[in-house]
Chains A and B, each alone.
Chain A
Amino acid sequence: MKSRQAPLIQVTGLTAAYGNEIVLENLNFSVDSGEIFVILGGSGCGKSTLLKHLIGLYRPVAGQVLIDGIDLHEAEGDLRLRLLRTMGIMYQQGALFGSLTLLENLCLPLEELSELPETARRLLATMNLALVGLAEHPHRYPAELSGGMRKRAAIARALVLGPRILFLDEPSAGLDPVTSAEMDRLILRLATNLEMTCVLVSHELPSIFAIADRVIMLDRNSRGIIATGTPEDLRHSNNRTVAQFFSRGASG
């Protein structure tokens, strides 16, 4: 692991709200380079909201998100584009473009954001499809894929511009245990071999124990982080909500 002094993502005093309703209040945490960081929590606690703030889709009411020391929400123009280029995002449903084939889906960002020659674009696209095990189906449309394949394709598209941070919104939600385990292995492989920093939103305990380096747990009532640490730390937490979450998961 490369040792880096400053954390890659630094969140300070982040407050998120929809209208007048505050969803998250005064969040502080940081993500180091190369780690697999999981945002955990029950339904409706603001996990996805937090993720959308981290990738710059939503603007925080207060506080800031620093990526590599640069405030994501204040950056403009080329700087903002450069920051966005360091992030790859897998949306929950994949968000692949339905009218394009997989290959075209991956080629599109390269075509629009770089001046690479056509063969180079196709090579990069195929390379990333192969990485997630979809090289056999470059000409399928997203609608012709299973849920798991669609998520993998979405990861391939997120990787195509060579990001350093990969954000994944519920990568194993809605997948069967076998496919879900495959997804975990893929994320681990990306993190260790591609030196990718992964930020996941998840509530799947088995996959969290399999891959997470560090976890933060959000809670709806306190509108903030109620626990931080490794999955093992959280399992032995004294906090009742955390304990409840983990014991339910273990028994059910």
Chain B
Amino acid sequence: MNRHRNQPDGPGATLKVSGEEGDITLTLSGRLDLAGITILWPQVCDLIDRHQPRHLCLAVEDVDYCDGTGVGLLLDCERRTTDGGGTFELRGLREEFARLRSQFDLAQLNRLPKSDPRPNSLPEATGRATVQTWRALWDLVTFTGELSVALLRALRRPRSVRWRDVGLTVEKAGVDGFPIVALLSFLVGLIMAFQAAIPMRQFGTEIYVANLIGLATLRELAPLMTAIILAGRSASAFAAEIGTMKINEELDALTTMGLEPVPFLVVTRVLAALLVTPLLTLFANLFGLLGGSVVLLSLNYPLVTYIRQVQSAVTLGDALGGLVKSLVFGVIIAAVGCLQGLRTETGASAVGHAATRAVVSGIVLIVIGDGVFSVLYYYLGV
């Protein structure tokens, strides 16, 4: 091999190759900065790996500028040559660059760390998931216990509760959440009534749409919709608030002041949710029924007929059953949100994870809870 290669002038660095097989001289010139080495690095490495030279001479007399990244290139040349069993010679490195070069230790670069040190094999992933699930369950049990104790204490001594905080949470979760609950309930009532009215009209039974809307809204849809909206709005907010507090060491500050986070932060939120959820459910009932009425009005039934029909179809038990359910949903939403907030780990993404987990497990628990209530109400005959 006896050839010269002149690089087309990139941003400042050029490479010239000379010498014969096994004994190569690479002449670098120009600026060895990030832009320069980006062009040179692949060529140089390729050259060394392809020829595996016995002796590599790197002539750098004409290098005008060299920063840390340039030194990286020099070191990599040396590493590759000596790894292949060759000898390496660096010729004409200027004094100031030599001083820079001396700051870096080649020995430490011989074994480059792998970029992904923690590969996730299936057994490992399974193990991790199992441990995590176990921990999550354990946390849930401890938290339930702590919360129950704290709630009982709050019931015995209501003055120990920070009612101001409860009020603020009621405002944020309830008052601010009202428009969206109202809108969604209205729309769901309307859509459901519309979908039901079309087939029922074929049999002339569209008046029974009122029964359908009444029962479905009071017993199922209003509590469920309200709970799901609250899980999305408030459980995530609770988790993010408490999670950020944890990251900022505010929870540690509370603990060292002798204030336990559960009574101080969680109880207020659970109490607020207990107040807000049934109220919002009540409004969801109203707006769901209103939504249904629009369909029947458009089918030329007078409003009073619709109201009578609803009254005849539903009982007070249906409405109360829905409200009791919503109380439980409220506790689930607040508790899950706070629990996930308290379990926040460190790091920028941790608060996001906590909020996501709060919403997802909140909704799952609500739907499971709803199933349990259905069975319970069936046997109780409600």
Contacts and interface: CB of A to CB of B under 8 A. Distances in A.
Interface stretch (B14-22, B34-42, B142-150, B152-160): B34-42
B69 interface: yes
B109 A123 contact: yes
B308 interface: no
Contacts, number: 101
Given A117-B42, A131-B104, A161 B69 contact: yes
B68 A99 contact: no
Contact of A122 (B73, B100, B108, B113): B113
A79 interface: no
Nearest to A113: B34
A195 B100 CA distance: 8
A127 B75 contact: yes
Interface stretch (B51-59, B254-262, B343-351): B343-351
B72 A98 contact: no
A119 B112 contact: yes
Contact of A130 (B34, B99, B105, B350): B105
B204 to A, nearest CB: 62
Describe B's contact surface by its main secondary structure: helix
A116 interface: yes
A98 B345 CA distance: 11
A185 interface: no
A103 B349 CA distance: 18
Contacts of B69: 124, 160-162
B34 A126 contact: no
A120 B68 contact: no
A128 interface: yes
A40 interface: no
B102 interface: yes
B96 A123 contact: no
A115 interface: yes
Contact of B346 (A115, A124, A143, A159): A143
A139 B115 CA distance: 9
B96 A128 contact: no
Contacts of A119: 45, 76, 112
Contacts of B113: 103, 122, 126, 138-139
A185 B312 CA distance: 86
B118 to A, nearest CB: 7
Interface of B: 33-34, 37-38, 41-42, 45, 67-73, 75-76, 79, 96, 99-100, 102-105, 108-109, 112-113, 115, 117-118, 346-350
14 contacts: A85-B34, A107-B115, A114-B38, A116-B41, A120-B37, A122-B113, A123-B109, A126-B108, A130-B108, A139-B117, A139-B118, A162-B68, A163-B67, A194-B103
Interface of A: 2, 85, 97-99, 101, 103-104, 107, 113-120, 122-124, 126-128, 130-131, 135, 138-139, 141-143, 159-164, 189, 192-195
